[in-house]
Structure 1
Amino acid sequence: MSMVNGGSTEAEINSLNNGLFPPVAGVTTTLEVRDPGAVTTRTITLTAQNLSPKAVNRTRVINDGAGGKIGYVLFNTFSPNASEAELAGAMTTMRNEGVRDMVIDLRYNGGGLLAVASQLSYMVAGDTRTNNRNFESLRFNALAGTRNPVTGQANNPVPFYTTGLGFSLAQGTALPTLNLPRAFVLTTDATCSASEAVINGLRGIGVEVVQIGGRTCGKPYGFYPQDNCGETYYTIQFQGVNHAGFGDYADGFVPVNAATSTGVKIAGCAANDDLTRELGDSTEGLLRAAIGYATTGTCPTPPPVATSAVQSGAFSSRNAGGSLRLTAPEKGIMETNRDMTMTR
């Protein structure tokens, strides 16, 4: 991108912000862009519209070339409540198709309802692997003892929920199961909190999690929303640990072949987010790497160690090539956390 509304100086950063993420519908923004490999620029006009976010944005069943099927679900948030029913519908499709491997695209999923993370993990792993096991236990500080200091009740672990909880699926509705021994998870540094709880929770019961992409954000912590005088407070209150007692991943999860010495290394392939293909396209970089690993057990050449300038505020000024560079606004608190809210 070289020009926004006729300007190309750093003063146009705010224009870029307002143009790409306007607060109201109907706002138009004119951009001058240069396509990859092109010499000349072209002009495009964007008009803002109201959009209703969805949790499950795409599902696919991919033939692996050897008579098997690989399922793919693009899952962007564990909130709002509709995520429960959307996930159950997606997993019902995968079960009916008889997929032998499952790719869960969490690359932009910052978290949300921990109960829905538990449901997703149960649907992947099935009854036998989750029976009499815990999805996550809440570790408070030493003063809490055996009580949950927020609720005042016994500090009981979060189970693998096997039925609908009433968020958007009727309570008691049996959830579909895939009964898989492994799951593929596509990740970036935007994969956070409840998304990481899925990785950790499945690993805690012996399900192999194959990570494709980049380091996750590293947030094994969570909260109970607290209302007070018209305000809701979200303070970090606990660390989540899996059935095996592990929860120390503050430096994130990272594929084993990544060129880094930090983070919890697990099976998988380091790969960069591919912005040249649509999500769900089998030739998109992360999904292509997952399919390759599922069928051959090998990874593409890992990307080199990335270096970047320190960012501040919502946007940086310019990238190394001199063009305007931006970062999307932060998600809401309910979408970037491990939220203990339950239906009443």
Structure 2
Amino acid sequence: MKIGRTTLSATLALALVACGGGGGGSNAPPTQGGPTPTPTPTTAACAISEQIDFADRVLDEWYLFPNLLDNSANAASFSDVQSFLDARVAPARAQSFDKGFTFATSIQAENDLINSGASAGFGIRLAYDTVNNRVFLLEAFENANGFAAGMDRGTELLAIGTSSANLQTISSLMASGGPQAVVNALGPSNAGVSRVIRFAQLGGNVIETTVTKTDFALDPISDRYGTLILDDGGKKVGYLNLRTFIVSDAADQLRAAFGEFGREGVTELILDLRYNGGGLVSVADTMGDLMGQGRVGQLWSETVLRASKSSENSSELFENEVNAIQPTKIAVIGTRSTASASELVTNSMIPYVGNGMALIGSNTSGKPVGQFGFDLAACDLRVRAVTFQTLNADGNGEYFTGLASVMPNTCRADDDITKAFGDPTEDSIRVALDFLGGRTCAAPISGGAGQTAQSVGGREVLQPTRPNAAQYEIPGLY
């Protein structure tokens, strides 16, 4: 039974009609689902002042932490919506309650991403070595040109240029302008943009070739390694690598994955969410239902809004899914890029699996909050504002410093990009199997407030200063 997940009041909509905003509280699915409206094309009359006024009204009415808004921010002093939002939520950000979670994006771009996984780029996810300033692929999407050119997990980028004649080495880019210089060299996320890229594959083979950005569909669960049955000394362990919750098709892909687990009699799971920045609450709820065999009607999670919006609070109960299983042990692989819906799923399973759960790898982002989307359709503007917090069946949801603080067990492990996802010898998967098998667990994970959300071991996700809709949900995507 799903109660009130997308219910929004008409107050904001009425206010915006009065100010000529042309939009209101939208049907945009909550993130941490339903179809979203088709935006009206941007017009020349859509002034920045109008957009900032809209964002201001959203925060005043809906922001989860109203006492942590900077009311001294002068709208007239800002030339873009994101800068204004950053200033308004600065007090909450300073206390780690809103670590970049409130942002402005394109309605059309986000709708396309949600509805079909549409994105434009090379189809690679990048991170950089914070000590040696080297840039590596964390993963490659199979239906995009980066993978077709020979790039995959563990590939190192060596140089980038618009032609072979003006290649710039990664080391020179990092020395001159840091990570943003590499971002700039990769070019805009538009189909048709080409770059000559020199890269080294695992094993040392160096390739220099032209790679063109194209429109491609993000696949939430890889056909190569997304769903596997691992043999651990004769015991079958289900391995699931979920890249993102933001694409609505992830729900059906999860159903197929758990159908396979059920047919194989799997009761122990490895959920590899190491780069999963979250996405749709509706997909997270489906994933919970698929682990809820025998729990239909019991509480999965609670959604709590600010006091003035308490009438919008809701409860989510386990629903029947024909492919559901009842896992007895779950090892969740996480990093600093594990956030939002990934953490919601993990936290919500703690009351039901208890000591059979462990966080493997490193501490997670710490995002027990989610956003509603508010649309100013005439400007193709969606404001994603932090509006609710999620709690599990025990009423717990205060993991702003990361899941390590609430998990029954934690086991530190490396993110070994020299090994393929699903490889039992990859360090995080190996440690996960050790936990599930009752073998010695690695040292516990330490973590605390103030640690960055995008750190992956000794690497930082390569993220532009102003991410596009896909990069907000899938950090490091190019």
Shorter-chain TM range is: 0.7 to 0.9
Name the structure 1 match of 2:49. none
Name the structure 2 match of 1:251. 401
Name the structure 1 match of 2:416. 274
Deviation at 1:21, TM superposition (A): 6.4
Q: Distance in 2 between matches of 1:141 and 1:178?
A: 35
Quick one: structure 1 residues 195 and 35, their matched pair in 2 at CA, closer, same or farther if it must change by over 3 Å?
closer
Name the structure 2 match of 1:44. 208
Q: Which has the higher helix share?
A: 2
Task: Check the 8 A contact 2:194/2:212 in 1, yes or no.
Answer: yes
Amino acid at match of 1:224: F
Name the structure 2 match of 1:228. 376
Q: 2:425 aligns with which of 269, 283, 290?
A: 283
Q: 2:366 aligns with which of 204, 210, 218?
A: 218
Name the structure 2 match of 1:75. 242
Percent of paired sites with the same residue: 25
Name the structure 2 match of 1:170. none
After superposition, give the CA deviation of every residue in 1:16-53 in whole Å (9 maximum; x if it has no partner): 325556523461323265978x8xx9453351353321
Q: Distance in 2 between matches of 1:229 and 1:63?
A: 51
Deviation at 1:253, TM superposition (A): 0.8
The 5 Å alignment of 1:68-217 reads: 68-126=235-293, 128=294, 130-145=295-310, 147-148=311-312, 155-162=313-320, 174-207=321-354, 208-217=356-365
Q: Distance in 2 between matches of 1:116 and 1:19?
A: 35
Quick one: structure 1 residues 43 and 302, their matched pair in 2 at CA, closer, same or farther if it must change by over 3 Å?
farther
Quick one: structure 1 residues 226 and 284, their matched pair in 2 at CA, closer, same or farther if it must change by over 3 Å?
same
Deviation at 1:106, TM superposition (A): 0.7
Task: Check the 8 A contact 1:4/1:15 in 2, yes or no.
Answer: no
After superposition, give the CA deviation of every residue in 1:235-287 in whole Å (9 maximum; x if it has no partner): 11111111111111111112xxxxxxxx3353131112111111111111111
Quick one: structure 1 residues 140 and 68, their matched pair in 2 at CA, closer, same or farther if it must change by over 3 Å?
same
Q: Which runs of 4+ in 1 moved over 6 A?
A: 302-305
Q: Distance in 2 between matches of 1:304 and 1:140?
A: 30
Task: Check the 8 A contact 1:214/1:271 in 2, yes or no.
Answer: yes
The 5 Å alignment of 1:15-54 reads: 16-18=182-184, 20=186, 23=189, 24-25=191-192, 27-31=194-198, 33=200, 42-45=206-209, 47-50=211-214, 51-54=216-219
After superposition, give the CA deviation of every residue in 1:141-194 in whole Å (9 maximum; x if it has no partner): 23334x11xxxxxx33122233xxxxxxxxxxx431121122111101111111
Quick one: structure 1 residues 336 and 209, their matched pair in 2 at CA, closer, same or farther if it must change by over 3 Å?
farther
Q: What stretches of structure 1 of length at least 5 have no aligned partner?
A: 149-154, 163-173, 255-262, 315-319, 338-344
Q: What stretches of structure 2 of length at least 5 have no aligned partner?
A: 1-133, 135-157, 162-166
1:61 correspondence with 2:229: yes
Q: Distance in 2 between matches of 1:46 and 1:211?
A: 40
Q: Distance in 1 between matches of 2:382 and 2:468?
A: 16
Task: Check the 8 A contact 1:76/1:109 in 2, yes or no.
Answer: yes
Where relative contact order (Cα < 8 A, 6+ residues apart) is larger, the structure is: 2
Task: Check the 8 A contact 1:68/1:100 in 2, yes or no.
Answer: no
Q: Distance in 2 between matches of 1:243 and 1:236?
A: 22
Computed over aligned residues only, the root mean square deviation of the Cα atoms, in angstroms, reads 3.4
Task: Check the 8 A contact 2:376/2:382 in 1, yes or no.
Answer: yes
Q: Distance in 2 between matches of 1:245 and 1:106?
A: 23
Task: Check the 8 A contact 1:125/1:181 in 2, yes or no.
Answer: no
Task: Check the 8 A contact 2:299/2:315 in 1, yes or no.
Answer: yes
> What's the TM-score, normalizing by structure 2?
0.55
Amino acid at match of 2:391: V
Structure 2 counterpart SS, 1:205:
helix
Structure 1 counterpart SS, 2:352:
coil
Q: Alignment length, in residue pairs?
A: 293
Q: Distance in 2 between matches of 1:73 and 1:227?
A: 34
